[in-house]
Structure 1
Amino acid sequence: MRQALFLIPLVASTAAVAAPENAISEARLRADVEKLVSFGTRHTLSSQTDPKRGIGAARKWAEAEFRKTGAACGGCLEIVLPETVVSGDRVPLPTRLVDVVAIQRGTERPNEVVIVQGHIDSRVSDVLDAVKDAPGANDDGSGTALVLEAARVLSKEKFAGTIVYAALSGEEQGLLGGKLLADYATQQGWTVKAVLNNDIVGGSRGSDGYKDDAHVRVLSEGPRADATDALRAQMRRYGGENDSPSRNISRWVAKLAEKDGAGLAVRQIWRADRLGRGGDQLPFSDKGYPAIRFTVAVEDYEHQHQDLRTEGGVKFGDTVDEMDFPYLAKVTRLNVRALARLARTPMPPAPVVKGAVQPSTDVEWQAVPGATRYVLWQRRTDAPMWETRLLETDETKASLPGVRADDWLFGVSAVAADGSESPIASAVPGGQFGPLPKS
């Protein structure tokens, strides 16, 4: 194959992209984490009525912060409080569960949604202990502060698509708030472009003293959680094990990070979550929504899920003094950059490749709203990242004579009029963004 035959000049962006991430305040992030810690415990089973202590007070404060931000942007945020009653192994008595959500509606495609979220609840060593102080500074005061700051910064601008900011409850009791919001997204009929879950994003030093403040981990599923047996069989036969929409969001964020010299490099972790652990991105991917998790490059296990104490000279507990706020600001910066671009870009297409038993390849896709052109991508089947930008076109198909489809993977991204480019959707079984059709 002579790849150069298919390279053509790319169309330049028609408008400069603003940089809202430059307005992020490290001081506000610190103040928000300190305020969250001041509620004593934010355990899901703690008081919902005490005005100063417990999950209820914390939720009301987060709601008030969203309302304050909404007032500052002339009412651009709609506040909703999805609610349910839960029970289970970690919720022995039926308990009211509430997520605190702010919606910034898109001006052109309001049903296309990108979600940024963190969980507001906290815990100590005993997951059922709702009484002891559970500061939850890094887990997950850091993610909640990031969400609040993203809303403050991005609400000053307008976007074609919708941004949803969410402080979730019940994560420590079984990802309950994530499931509640995923169900709400389905009920609303949202087209979810991406979910950015931020959980433990405010520390840079591990339990063993190792420090890494130059990277953030981004975790993503490989094979789709919502795949049927028939689709899994197609993936095994034709490829797709490494090309879920969540995996392509991860690749896209990693490339985005490379363009910010003042930010963080992304270390992609190609697992749905850490070994033996979970996060609120999982209920979304279970439904077929593209979802990734941001988390610190190195974890400090003495300062998460621990009673406040000192043993053998070692201090335990998730407290503010163990955090790295310049690092949290950098993770927030990357999230805000990703959110702004995702809210501007069209949805990725759903390409299909045809090339069996022929010395050429044809790729086709349906037009997507907001796209002025499309980019066709290619990579080797054993390559981790998209390698070659083959061509741009305003059509919804492309032919590649002399290219044998057996040896390559192909993908397509969509480009808006301002040059904002979507993540790449892979032309493989299950590569489309969004839930799979029910059989």
Structure 2
Amino acid sequence: MLVARRIFALAILATSACAQSLMEPLSIWPPGPGNVLVPQAPDQELTEMLNQIDPARIQAIIEKLVSFGTRHTASNQTDPVRGIGAARDWIAEQMRGFAAASNGRMTVSVPSFVQQPTSALTNATVVSNIVATLTGSKEPNRVYVVSGHYDSRVTSIFNNIDDAPGADDDGSGVAISMELARIMATHQPAATIMFAVVAGEEQGLFGSAFMAQTLKQQGADVQGMLDNDIVGASKADDGTIDPFSIRLFVSGLPPTNTAAQNNELASIGGENDSPAHQLGRFVAEVAQNGVTQMNVRTIFRPDRFLRGGDHESFLDQGFPAVRFTEPHENFAHQHQDVRVVDGVQFGDLVEFCDFEFNMRVGKVNGAAIWSMAQAPGTPKNVLIDTSVLTNNSTLTWDVDPNVAEIAGYEVVWREADLPQWNRVIEVGLVNKVTVLLSKDNVQMGVRAVGKNGFKSPAGFPLPN
């Protein structure tokens, strides 16, 4: 037993020595499953930011958006008080006001394009997004996006005249992007955060598609996109009330994968380990705590049945993206003409919103987006050696170009039938490690740990 302990101690010392340099090719880690993974908690700076999210401000934003009458994509763009143009100009003005407090770190743009007619849009229409970009201080090309859409609709997708309040769908999502932009403008993340408010969602995800395509063309390293769509009410049409839960829809196999790539994932049981799944796991880990007071219900499918959202535009470009939606919907308040039928009020009205709930969803988003932007990036090109039969597992990954900010790496793992990472093995500042844990028995990932304590989403290993 004494000899075993001496070998264990020597292994730890050897690993500690090589942790000072990524030049060491291999670390052999001692036996054992590692420690129980303790979820990352918000630090003081993040806690203070989350506590600034104001339900009264969320209410004021939603009420102002509703005051424009309709925000249909094809509604008036020049009237100063009614239509999507007036809403666009007001949102941009507010965002510029937030940016003024950033000492130049935040810039605001209104990228626009002409959407040609489609089956849901009868005329060529200018579609404009509003994007407040808080540039990262250390890795400006690593990008995280939080978004809501500001267009609205009633029963007919072509009706651009009648009032379409759009309080919950999606004034609630817009309010989250705007509140987080206001609060985070005075702070300095390591990576870039884009606070987006997009248009054209109801007719075909036009604004988000344009944004995602533009980022792809620019070569931006988008490592996470959070879509907030219908996140402002906690009471369903059956009377169910659930004010402390939010659904998080997480897509499986990436739509950009080839058949060969999907077959490779299937061959190692990786169907639940796509980049979007790792993003979902990360959000669930960092956003369920005493500060947010929320339960994140991770649902492994792209969206609800018969529905879709702006996160799909980012998935289509190969970016990890997820969607938040309230846990129990009231469909009488979505995509409906404002009317009363047999005593039942239809329409997406402010009176049905729960601003305290909307605030807590904002905290979930804030915890996730800031934790990602402050952490190192997700390890890239993570591979697992499958060349020999062994009960060990050897993993490799690329050296991070921003390695000066990294304290070390961790191998996270879980039983293959569990949804969340629940064990962790600290392996030091290396980019190749052998753990005495069988790759045949569990699922593993690698995450980076910053010198500031923030930890990245995990990178999932493919066979080498």
Would you say the 8 A contact 1:101–1:165 is kept in 2? yes
Answer whether contact 1:117 1:143 (CA < 8 A) is retained.
Answer: yes
Taking a change above 3 Å as real, the CA distance of residues 90 and 396 of structure 1, as seen in their structure-2 partners, is same
> Using a 3 Å threshold, how does the CA distance of structure 1 residues 22 and 137 change in structure 2: closer, same or farther?
same
How far residue 74 of structure 1 moved from its aligned partner, in angstroms, is: 2.9
Deviations 1:153-199 (A, max 9, x none): 11111011111011100000011111011012112221001001000
Q: Deviations over 1:64-96 (max 9, x none)?
A: 000111112233321122221112111111111
Letter in 2 for 1:146: I
Give the aligned partner of residue 390 of structure 2: 358
Q: 1:386 aligns with which of 421, 427, 434?
A: 421
Structure 1, unpaired ranges of 5+: 431-439
- Runs (4+) of structure 1 exceeding 3 A deviation are 8-13, 15-18
DSSP 3-state at the match of 2:440: helix
Q: For residue 5 of structure 1, what is the aligned residue in structure 2?
A: 32
2:54 to 20, 25, 45: 25
Q: Which residues in structure 2 correspond to 1:102-181 (within 5 Å)?
A: 102-181=132-211
2:153 partner letter: R
Aligned pair partner of 2:409 in 366, 374, 380: 374
Letter of the structure 2 residue corresponding to residue 198 of structure 1: N
Aligned match of 1:72: 101
Taking the aligned partners of 2:324 and 2:385, their CA distance within structure 1 comes to: 36
Tell me what 1:396 maps to: 431
Could you tell me how far apart the structure 2 residues matched to 1:78 and 1:391 are? 38
CA contact (8 A) 1:409 1:427 kept: no
Q: 1:81 to 1:367 in 2, by over 3 A?
A: same
Partner of 1:198: 228
Q: What is aligned with 2:446? A: 412
Report deviation, 1:424.
Answer: 1.2
Q: Which has the larger radius of gyration?
A: 2
Task: Please list the CA deviations of residues 38-69 of structure 1 after superposition, one character each: whole Å capped at 9, or x if unmatched.
Answer: 00000000001111000100000000000111
Q: 1:392, CA displacement in angstroms?
A: 3.2
- Deviations along 1:211-232, one digit per CA (max 9) or x if unpaired, are 1111000011011111001101
What RMSD over aligned residues (CA atoms) do the two structures have, in Å?
Answer: 2.1
Per the TM alignment, residue 3 of structure 1 is displaced from its structure 2 partner at its CA by 9.2
> Among residues 79, 104, 123, which one is paired with 1:50 in the alignment?
79
Letter in 2 for 1:5: G
**Paired residues of 1:373 and 1:393 also in contact (CA < 8 A):** yes
What SS does the aligned partner of 1:93 have? coil
The answer to whether the 8 Å contact 1:100/1:166 transfers is yes
Q: Against the structure 1 CA distance between its residues 309 and 265, is the aligned structure 2 distance closer, same or farther, given a 3 Å change threshold?
A: same
Report if aligned partners of 1:10, 1:391 keep a CA contact under 8 Å in 2: no
Change (3 A) 1:10 1:221: closer
Q: Which runs of 5+ in 2 are unaligned?
A: 1-28
* 1:386 counterpart letter in structure 2: W
Amino acid at match of 2:384: V
**SS state of the match for residue 194, structure 1?**
strand
Sort the Cα spacing of 1:366 and 1:17 in 2 relative to 1 into closer, same or farther, 3 A: farther
- Following superposition of structure 1 onto structure 2, how do residues 253-264 of structure 1 map, counting pairs within 5 Å? 253-260=283-290, 262-264=292-294
Read off the aligned partner of 1:208 and give its amino acid letter.
D
Q: Equivalents in 2 of 1:410, 1:382: separation in Å?
A: 12
- For residues 263 and 155 of structure 1, the distance between their equivalents in structure 2, rounded to whole angstroms, comes to 24
Determine the C-alpha separation between the residues in 2 that align with 1:300 and 1:122: 16
Contact 2:169 2:229 in 1 (8 A): yes
Partners of 2:367 and 2:260 in 1: CA distance:
37
Number of residue equivalences: 427
How far is the alpha carbon of 1:261 from its aligned partner? 5.2
Write the deviation string for residues 212-266 of structure 1: whole angstroms up to 9, x where unpaired. 1110000110111110011011122122211111111111111112323552110
Report the AA paired with residue 394 of structure 1: L
Q: Distance in 1 between matches of 2:102 and 2:33?
A: 46
Partner SS state of residue 84, structure 1 = strand
1:84 corresponding residue in structure 2:
113
2:213 is aligned to: 183
Judge conservation of contact 1:354–1:405 (CA < 8 Å) in 2. Answer: no
Q: Distance in 1 between matches of 2:31 and 2:349?
A: 55
Instruction: Give the Å deviation of 1:389.
Output: 0.5
TM score, norm. by length of structure 1? 0.93
Deviation (angstroms), 1:410? 0.9
Q: Give the 5 Å matches for 1:294-373.
A: 294-350=324-380, 351-355=382-386, 356-368=388-400, 369=402, 370-373=405-408
Give the drift of 1:6: 5.0
Tell whether the 8 Å contact from 2:147 to 2:195 is kept in structure 1 after alignment.
Answer: yes
Partner letter of residue 64 of structure 1? Answer: E
- 1:424 matched residue in structure 2: 458
CA contact (8 A) 2:172 2:231 kept: yes
SS at match of 1:376: strand
Contact 1:302 1:315 in 2 (8 A): yes
Q: Is the 8 A contact 1:81 1:101 kept in 2?
A: yes
Alpha-carbon deviation of 1:341? Answer: 0.9
